[in-house]
Structure 1
Amino acid sequence: MRFPPLSRRAVLKGLGTAMALPWLEAMAPAAGLARRPGGKVAPTRMAYLYVPNGAHMPGWTPEQLGDDFTLPRVLEPLDPFKQQLLVLSGLAQDTARAHGDGGGDHARSMACFLTGVHPVKTNGADIRAGVSVDQVAAAKMGHHTRLPSLELGVDPSAQSGNCDSGYSCAYSSNISWRSPTQPVPKEINPRLVFERLFGDDSPDRLTERRRRYNRSILDLVSEDARRLHGRLGVDDRRKVDEYLGAVREIERRLVMAEQRRTEEVERPDDLVKPEGVPKDNQDHLRLMLDMLVLAFQTDQTRIATMVFANEGSNKSYNWIDVPEGHHSLSHHQGDAEKQEKIARINRYHVEQLSYFLGRLKEIPEGDGSLLDHSMIVYGSGIGDGNRHNHNELPIVLAGGGCGRIRTGRHLRYDEDTPLNNLFLAMLDRMDTPVDELGDSTGRLDRLDG
């Protein structure tokens, strides 16, 4: 029997659940998808991943330019993805500099990273920055997906308080800005993100139902999944089975993280933290990154941000033998031991990026993979944490942008080239072009060869 094409927005349903599906050959071309090389249809996604306090730049920057380069120590975990990577040197965020406002480099770094707008120095309610690149894209194309954008992190967003030399905590804990006065808070609870992606109801009500019946989300949609199998070809069946297996594995990890947290609560402060937030940092980061993979895979959003830690974070990393605070170490004053520990933290974060890219690369879609159809920016709004400089930023771009980026190179740009020039070029490749963004001076060139 020949079945009509599936809608790109087809879902598996059951008991308050609407589980989006990955891209399948059986799906008809859907709104907002462009035909790419090879005649296949795929959406372009973009994500911005932020790390605080700059980087140990000698361990970050490759010595060679062009396509014959070696990834140095900090970036070495990305070696399996070298051919899907651009290392971009020379980019700057001038608007993170003081410009007469004195201290507050950390707050300015995050507030302007995606906006290119110098934030108003205040610790009151009159915060003002700019519209971030992710929200520019979301406003233009967010109607194509259930979620216009997705904002994730592991540290809570704040909307008030004094966090950095007279700058509001809103600046140092929010990277996404819907308007100059409205930051978009990030979600840090992987359980709530999971329920948001797969619930056909409010997350609280769905969670309550599932616990009442003590069932996996896959149990709730099993009958619908069985019916779907009957109308799919062999390749699509395999893809759906792999996808459902990945969802079940994430559910298992969520339960384990929640159980560990319940067992390890020692301080009263822990009791007020949202359920589902893992105590282990790597577990937390990877669960959030897995949620982002699922959101892209099921085309629930094509635009996302992920903050590995709030700017100025003084988190310690005992599990990699760095008991000192990250921010304290970043003021290394040339001390070799402190620089070594900063490099260790940087490499640890890059290992999580490598995990994320690996997950994107292993998921086939159309004529390539999720990674082929994505643009992933990873970096910081500070260069060297000791200098608090905002030029020579640590920036990498991963993914092929649906064939519109030629990766596998280290490119160097003129000193103080605005980072926002990269963002303008990315918006073009999302088919959401704008004339300017923040302090942009034009499109970043050489991305396509």
Structure 2
Amino acid sequence: MSQSPKTLSRRTVLRGVGTAIALPWLDAMSPSRLLAATSSDGSPPLRMGFFYVPNGMHMPAWTPGKEGANFDLTPTLEKLADHREDISVLSGLTLDGARAHGDGGGDHARSVAAFLTGAHPRKTNGADIQNGISVDQATAQYVGDRTRFASLELGLEASSQAGNCDSGYSCAYASNMSWRGPTNPMAKETDPRALFDRLFAGQTVKETRRAKSEREKYRKSILDFVAEDAKRLHAHLPIVDRRKLDEYFYAIRDVEKRLDGSEKLGLNEEGVPDYPRPSGVPRELAQHSDLMMDMVALAYQTDSTRILSFMFTNAGSNRAYKEIGVNEGHHELSHHGKSEHKQAEIAKINAFHAERFNCLLGRLKLIREGNGSLLDHCMIVYGSGISDGDRHNHDDLPILLAGKGGGRIQSGRHVRYKNGTPLCNLYLWMMRQMGADAERFGDSQGVLQGLG
């Protein structure tokens, strides 16, 4: 970092051995230099994201009864009450590619494979997988070269590339929603420590390994490696930018502390010491999710990427959520057969996922950027490719759009579309807002209307 604030570029980073920390949006950044990295008027860049939850929803606890700005916060949406004005609930959208179309069972695998592609995946558990390119990767082809990472693929459960996971469908379909091409699923990063290192690594493998080894040996913060650069910059910034930088450094250090804490030796239920998890993945799902959400916020804040996808769990996940008192498997509960008990348990899981997503929205809302917040410059889809898990239907999906899209989205509403409206209509609209010159995507019939 050798530039003065008067010539500070959006691409400026603080450097140290094996470390390169990108800066958040600062007022001191020259508008003329920002033009190449942001929109044509120098405003903050637009980000897109896609967050997937498995096994559908308990729809009575999701869908508002009222449309428009006065929509009611249902039990699941109540978990997002802090951000009521920042979300748009979109009803009636449909994922035709996830339907059987003569292929029989496998709705869970199809729901993930089709969620971002709009394609109908070939039914196979062999090497001859065939899907479509996903909206995140299609958009990255247009704007991915503007950031360090064209896109990020994240989740809480690891991806698989082979095996039979759902009624003859390959595990590649069930555990990957991002596809670079028809035969190229993009594996997810699930380790928050590994993701942190990717975001703040140096320019060479040798430097990165050296810095990581020294940090672990002396328990240093990654910020210690850029202290001199940071001190020089801080001294010349206006007070507003100093505050922004201090908040940003605090967020980085907070994530580091929590990463370290998640790897410490603990006691199991029998009081016997557990060994540290070698992968760096926390044992508790909430802790794992919240760390990953903080990393998502840092990735957006530093403009390391503008496009990412996130899977809470893989398709058909039968994970039990004991930390919230749900001891039965999620997939088994989703086949509720109208059981009131099972539906109540599904609603608890849905609320848990919504709470985790709410953590991300809160983090993005607190980050000031331009004349608003980072969340104001986002378009983040949250939902599932299955509506009711018992019916395995793929129409009237539970879809939520978070953020104001840089002023392009009139949020804080429930918008009901004609049932059967392609979900890909939304994706085509989002692609065009990102600057992708696409005439159609998936099974789109045009851009989705009524968002602005």
Q: Structure 1 length normalisation: TM-score?
A: 0.95
Q: Could you say if the C-alpha distance between residues 379 and 95 of structure 1 is closer, same or farther in structure 2, counting changes exceeding 3 Å? A: same
The equivalent residue for 2:442 is 438
Contact 1:195 1:206 (C-alpha < 8 Å) held by counterparts: no
Consecutive unaligned residues in structure 1, runs of 5 or more: none
One-letter amino acid matched to 1:427: M
With 270-279 and 422-431 compared, the bigger mean Cα shift is at 270-279
The answer to whether the 8 A contact 1:35-1:42 is kept is no
Measure the CA separation in 2 of the matches of 1:12 and 1:272.
32
Residue 275 of structure 1, CA deviation:
2.0
> In 2, distance between residues paired with 1:411 and 1:422?
12
* Superimposed CA distance per residue, residues 20-61 of structure 1 (whole angstroms, 9 cap, x where no aligned partner): 11011111214241156xxx6210001000000000000000
2:251 counterpart residue number: 246
SS in structure 1 of the partner of residue 21 of structure 2: strand
Alignment pair present for 1:220 and 2:196: no
Residue 413 of structure 1 is matched in structure 2 by 417
User: How big is each residue's C-alpha offset from its partner over 1:201-243, in whole Å with a ceiling of 9 and x where there is no partner?
Assistant: 4465542232234311011111111011122111111100110
> Matched residues in 1 for 2:122 and 2:28: separation?
51
AA at the equivalent of 2:60: P
The answer to whether the 8 A contact 1:377-1:395 is kept is yes
2:102 maps to 100
2:8 corresponds to:
6
CA contact (8 A) 1:89 1:413 kept: yes
Q: Which residue of 2 aligns with 1:317?
A: 321
Task: Give the match for residue 44 of structure 1.
Answer: 46
Q: Does the 8 Å CA contact 1:382/1:393 hold for their aligned counterparts?
A: yes
The answer to whether the Cα contact below 8 Å between 1:189 and 1:274 also exists between their aligned partners in 2 is no
Q: 2: distance between equivalents of 1:208 and 1:108?
A: 43
- In structure 1, how many angstroms separate the alpha carbons of the residues matched to 2:379 and 2:302? 17
8 Å contact 1:8–1:30 — kept in the other structure? no
| Match in the other structure for 1:83 | 85
Query: Are 1:308 and 2:312 matched, yes or no?
Result: yes
Cα distance between partner residues in 1 of 2:218 and 2:390: 54
CA distance in 2, matches of 1:176, 1:423: 14
After superposition, the Cα gap between the structure-2 partners of 1:272 and 1:213, relative to the gap in structure 1 and judged at 3 Å, is closer
What is the aligned partner in structure 1 of residue 384 from structure 2?
380
Distance 1:273-1:174 versus aligned 2 partners, 3 A rule:
farther
Matches of 1:11 and 1:100 in 2, distance apart? 53
Determine which of 281, 290, 294 is the counterpart of 2:294.
290
Instruction: Mark the CA change 1:386 to 1:431 in structure 2 (over 3 Å): closer, same or farther.
Output: same
The one-letter code matched in structure 2 to 1:323 is N
SS at match of 1:221: helix
| Cα contact 2:193–2:280 (8 A) shared by 1 | yes
CA RMSD after TM alignment: 1.8
**1:164: how far off?**
0.4
Question: Which amino acid in 2 is paired with 1:78?
Answer: L
* Alpha-carbon separation, structure 1, partners of 2:155 and 2:406: 26
Which residue, out of 391, 395, 403, partners 1:391? 395
Matched residue, 1:68: 70
Match of 1:17 among 16, 19, 33: 19
Q: Check whether the contact 2:10–2:37 (CA below 8 A) recurs between aligned residues.
A: no
Report the CA distance between 1:272 and its aligned residue.
11
Q: Is the 8 A contact 1:391 1:415 kept in 2?
A: yes
Q: Which residue of 2 aligns with 1:400?
A: 404
- Whether contact under 8 Å (1:7, 1:30) holds in the other structure is no
One-letter amino acid of the structure 1 residue matched with residue 113 of structure 2:
A
CA contact (8 A) 2:49 2:309 kept: yes
- Tell which deviates more after alignment, 87-96 or 270-279: 270-279
State, as a whole percentage, how many aligned pairs show the same letter.
55
| TM-score (structure 2 length as normaliser) | 0.95
What is the aligned counterpart of 1:137 among 118, 131, 139? 139
Matched, 1:231 2:236: yes
**1:281 CA displacement:** 0.2
Alpha-carbon distance between aligned partners in 2 of 1:204 and 1:124, rounded to the nearest angstrom: 37
For residues 329 and 204 of structure 1, the distance between their equivalents in structure 2, rounded to whole angstroms, comes to 45
- Could you tell me how far apart the structure 1 residues matched to 2:69 and 2:5 are? 47
Secondary structure (helix, strand or coil) at the match of 2:6 reads coil
Which of 160, 165, 174 does residue 176 from structure 2 map onto? 174
TM-fit CA distance, 1:413: 0.6
For 1:340-390, what per-residue CA distance to the aligned partner results, in whole angstroms no more than 9, with x for missing partners?
A: 000010011001111110100010001110100000100000000000000
Q: Deviations over 1:396-420 (max 9, x none)?
A: 0010000011111101111111100
Cα gap change, 1:211 to 1:53, in 2 (>3 Å): same
Aligned to 1:147: 149
| Distance across 2 between alignment mates of 1:84 and 1:322 | 30
1:210 maps to: 215
Q: CA deviation at 1:264?
A: 4.9
Secondary structure in structure 1 of the residue aligned to 2:230: helix
- Distance (Å, rounded) in 2 between the aligned partners of 1:141 and 1:52: 29
CA offset at residue 265 of structure 1? Answer: 11
Distance 1:265 1:144, change over 3 A: farther
2:122 matched residue in structure 1: 120
Work out the CA distance in 1 between the residues paired with 2:342 and 2:298. 37
Give SS of 2:327's match: strand
The AA in structure 2 aligned to 1:325 is G
Q: State which drifts further: 204-213 or 247-256.
A: 204-213
Letter in 1 for 2:176: N
Separation (CA, whole Å) in 2 of partners of 1:283 and 1:44: 28
| Structure 2 Cα separation of the partners of residues 272 and 122 of structure 1 | 38
Counterpart CA distance in 1 for 2:159 and 2:315 is 11
**Is residue 178–residue 184 contact of structure 1 (8 Å, CA) maintained in 2?**
yes
